[in-house]
Structure 1
Amino acid sequence: MSEPVKKVYVSQDNSAIVICEACGRTKKLVNIQEEQPGKKIRVHCGCGANFTIILERRRYYRKQVYLPGYYAKTSVPGEHPMIVRDISLGGLRFETVEEHDLRKGDVVRVRFRLDNPDRTSITRPVIVRYAGHKVVGTEYFKDDPVDRALGAYLLK
């Protein structure tokens, strides 16, 4: 049976605090590189305990969903179908139904409905942070207030 892997969150200054569950000692990891989050790291504590951690950069809980909707580049007319695959207070990840030409830094407007009892409509601009083959990761604008309905939805 494999040992459990503990998530450790990377802060804005690219550091993380690791706490040994055996003795409670703490160790600060510094200068964590951009490509390191998501990788498993074996930690050896001074007390003799060994354990595995995985570095996580996310600031918010992500809810796995399947929400059909549409996206549109703000600079080009026309909407394209998408499926929202996960959503958080900081952004969302969607899958395009067709090939896309989105690039990191593009601003797009997303439109979809939550699967809550009110079928709340969400329409907001987002900035593309990752654009893969048919997968797009986005972040909400900092000055865009989080919808109350979205916050309540994520708590359920």
Structure 2
Amino acid sequence: MPTNKAYVRANNTATIVCPACGARKNISTLQLKGKRHTVKVRCRCNVVFDIQIDFRHSYRKPISLPGTYTILRDGQGGGVIHIRNISTGGIGLTVSGIHQLKKGQVLGIEFLLNDKNQTTIRKKTVIVSVNKNQIGCRFSASEETGKALGFFLQS
């Protein structure tokens, strides 16, 4: 059975839905924060299934776009990236080749949206996770989403 997702609301609760019978249950996610986010659940209909608890604050849109990065703080250089997903708060990307990127570095990211205007996006980001060539970044607090990116995320 595939893993289902449950999205955490601002009040730290999530609704779990049984894939077999459709039964719903609201749970508190406070005890799950900072721990493994996939848990096994047994429904009252006796079906056991996996549920992934998603703590993201905003929808992450899967995409596949080329771009470039430049290290702005705590290092130097840059390179080619491939953007895998984007949200109003951050971006997930892969880096081509060997890199020295690490958590906390500030990057300048540039890429073209595949919208009708081929809008150029330039953002300052902070690296929050590094797993081999997969990099997770959040947009700097001073960065606004921008009208073009906002429309792109809604389409």
TM-score band w.r.t. shorter chain = 0.7 to 0.9
> What TM-score does the superposition give when structure 2 sets the normalisation length?
0.81
1:48-100 CA distance string (max 9 Å, x none): 56563221122222222121111011034543111111111111111111211
Letter in 2 for 1:103: K
> Structure 2 CA distance, aligned partners of 1:10 and 1:99?
35
Question: Match for residue 68 of structure 1?
Answer: 66
CA distance in 1, matches of 2:123, 2:27: 40
Which SS does the other structure have where 1:151 is aligned? helix
| CA shift for structure 1 position 139 | 0.6
SS in 1 for 2:150: helix
Alignment RMSD:
2.4
1:4-153 alignment to 2 at 5 Å?
Answer: 5-11=3-9, 15-19=12-16, 24-37=24-37, 39-45=38-44, 50=47, 52=49, 53-75=51-73, 76-153=75-152
Q: Which has the higher strand share?
A: 2
Number of equivalent positions: 150
Change (3 A) 1:109 1:16: same
Q: Gapped runs of 5+ residues in structure 1? A: none
* 1:19 Cα deviation after fit: 4.9
Worse-matched range after superposition: 59-68 or 128-137: 59-68
Overall identity of the aligned pairs, in %: 23
Runs of 4+ with >6 A deviation:
none
Cα distance in structure 2, aligned partners of 1:20 and 1:67: 33
Q: Which amino acid aligns with 1:153?
A: F
- Taking a change above 3 Å as real, the CA distance of residues 50 and 135 of structure 1, as seen in their structure-2 partners, is same
Q: What TM-score do the two structures reach when normalised by structure 1?
A: 0.81
Are 1:112 and 1:121, in contact at CA under 8 Å, matched by a contact in 2?
yes
